[in-house]
Amino acid sequence: KALLDYIEKKDPQVKAFLKVTSEEALAQAEEADKLRQKGEDRPLLGVPIAIKDNICTRGITTTCASKMLENFVPPFDATVIIKLKEAGAVILGKTNLDEFAMGSSTENSAFFPTHNPWDLERVPGGSSGGSAAAVAAGFCAAALGSDTGGSIRQPASFCGVVGLKPTYGRVSRYGLVAFASSLDQIGPLTRSVKDAALVLQVIAGKDEKDSTSVPEEVPDYLKALEMDLSGAAIGLPEEYFGEGLSGEVRTRIEEAIKVFEEMGIKVKKIRLPHTPYAVAAYYIIAPAEASSNLARYDGVKYGLRVEGKDLIDMYKKTRSQGFGPEVKRRIMIGTYALSAGYYDAYYKKASQVRTLIARDFTEAFKEVDFVIGPASPTPAFKIGERVSDPLAMYLSDIYTISVNLAGIVGLTIPCGFTDKGLPVGLQIMGPHFSESKVLALGHQFE
């Protein structure tokens, strides 16, 4: 009740939520209370959690911040939601995002932008900006986000919270509205690394309903937080500290590196030579997959329908009115890249580059246990500053995208503030299924 009151008072400024499910939340909280009185304990019993609005919740609208799905009420829960409910969590509502998770500032929401709680004139990052802002504002103990090219880690960095992109396949994507299926992954945003470990513990694991989820055993992430990391080595990729990195971010990261050294961790300079091609490869692969995934919004199966004089006219009107400019841009880029005659030049080439980027990490992890760098080249920027320049917007993902292309683990943790009081995030990257170790390093740094 206290949280719901607080959200009612403060969210009109932050605008983190698209929908607050007060009634359901109170019922779940009462249920949790009863269970506790009976002496039962569950990992998240009574813990208030917010959910990015591209994750399906049974009986509760799941809009993807799009006019296309404004009134879509899923008849089923995503696997992660079932798992959260089983663990006793209380779901507070659905958070704002860039339409269909396409963006880096939450300004592409069809409904309204979210504001950064640290400075209301600035963006919270994106696309999980609502989730990051909700955690930073203290509206919830944790939130779920999705990360296709940085959408958990970049907003975590802008909002001064913890954000984890697990290994591709670690968490079921069943019920996550697909953007780019070979890159999408659900993960937690929290105020501490320990909380992220707790949420991951609950949502991770093989799911029969997602054939890309991996049967790998789920370790005890909480226990692993205290593992001995002395003698471990971190690599600093030259490519992550070059031109384009703002001075204030660089300074905070360099200070953090000193802390790692004091912890007895070896620091090495490394190279990830294909990094300069990551953004280009991503902006072929992600739109290509998106153009295919978003073909389902045709006014027939579900979502918006705008009547037309015949079937084709109905498709055209529905898709013209249902999608916002960024989504249309991606569909056009993707369709073009996949067209006959262009496939080899674009999609195939981008896939080859993707392999080279993944190989860079494989080579690096032969030398070091972790790769460390900034999560974003700048702190949170002003609302409106980059809306008319898609390329400038795309560049905010320069340090996060490679992790998705390689399918590895990426964790953002706060590492201080700029002179203006804006949070700066540090990113820890680790090999596939290294969540335990990455979380341990983050926790011990905290």
Beta carbon of residue 98, minimum distance to ligand GLN (angstroms, whole number): 7
Concatenating the DSSP letter of every residue in 191-237 gives SSHHHHHHHHHHHBS-BTTBTTS-------HHHHTT---TT-EEEEE
Say if CB 90 and CB 47 are below 8 A apart. Answer: yes
Residues 6+ apart with CB under 8 A from 335: 291
Bridge partners (DSSP) of residue 234 are 267, 370
Q: Produce one character per residue of 329-342: b if its CB has 16 or more CB atoms within 10 Å, e if not.
A: ebbebbbebbeeee
CA angle 71, 75, 77 (to 5 degrees): 105
Helix (H, G, I), strand (E, B) or coil at 266: strand
Structure tokens, 110: 């069809």
Among residues 146 and 436, whose Cβ is nearest to ligand GLN?
146
Binding mask 158-197 for ligand GLN (x = CB under 6 A): ---------------------x------------------
Binding mask 392-411 for ligand GLN (x = CB under 6 A): -----x--------------
Among 78, 91, 156, 286, binds ligand GLN (CB under 6 A): 286
Beta carbon of residue 398, minimum distance to ligand GLN (angstroms, whole number): 10
If one asks whether residue 104 binds ligand GLN (CB under 6 A), the answer comes out as: yes
Q: Name the segment binding ligand GLN (CB under 6 A); options: 101-109, 168-176, 224-232, 364-372.
A: 101-109
Beta carbon of residue 158, minimum distance to ligand GLN (angstroms, whole number): 12
Q: Name the segment binding ligand GLN (CB under 6 A); options: 42-50, 95-103, 116-124, 432-440.
A: 95-103
Catalytic residue among 66, 105, 127, 436: 127
Tell me how many residues contact ligand GLN (CB under 6 A): 14
Catalytic residue among 109, 131, 151, 436: 151
If one asks whether residue 105 binds ligand GLN (CB under 6 A), the answer comes out as: no
Query: What distances in angstroms separate CA 411 from CA 228, 341, 426, 440, one per listed residue?
Result: 19, 39, 8, 11
Query: What distances in angstroms separate CA 214 from CA 84, 204, 272, 372, one per listed residue?
Result: 19, 10, 27, 26
Q: Shortest CA distance to 241 belongs to which of 263, 264, 270?
A: 270
If one asks whether residue 103 binds ligand GLN (CB under 6 A), the answer comes out as: yes
Strands (E), 99-255: 142-146, 162-165, 186-190, 233-237
If one asks whether residue 293 binds ligand GLN (CB under 6 A), the answer comes out as: no
Among residues 179 and 221, whose Cβ is nearest to ligand GLN?
179
Concatenating the DSSP letter of every residue in 358-418 gives HHHHHHHHHH-SEEEEESSSSSPPBTTSSTT-HHHHHGGGTTTHHHHHHT-EEEEEEEEE-
Structure tokens, 5: 């009151």
52 catalytic? Reply is yes
Among residues 236 and 284, whose Cβ is nearest to ligand GLN?
284
151 catalytic? Reply is yes
Bridge partners (DSSP) of residue 3 are none
Catalytic residue among 15, 52, 85, 437: 52
Among residues 101 and 133, whose Cβ is nearest to ligand GLN?
101
Please, which of residues 119-158 interact with ligand GLN by CB under 6 A?
127, 146-151
Among residues 178 and 265, whose Cβ is nearest to ligand GLN?
178
Amino acid at 182: S
Among residues 146 and 378, whose Cβ is nearest to ligand GLN?
146
Among residues 293 and 436, whose Cβ is nearest to ligand GLN?
293
10 catalytic? Reply is no
Beta carbon of residue 414, minimum distance to ligand GLN (angstroms, whole number): 20
Q: Shortest CA distance to 397 belongs to which of 141, 18, 98?
A: 98
Residues in touch with ligand GLN (CB under 6 A): 101-104, 127, 146-151, 179, 286, 397
Q: Which residues are catalytic?
A: 52, 127, 151
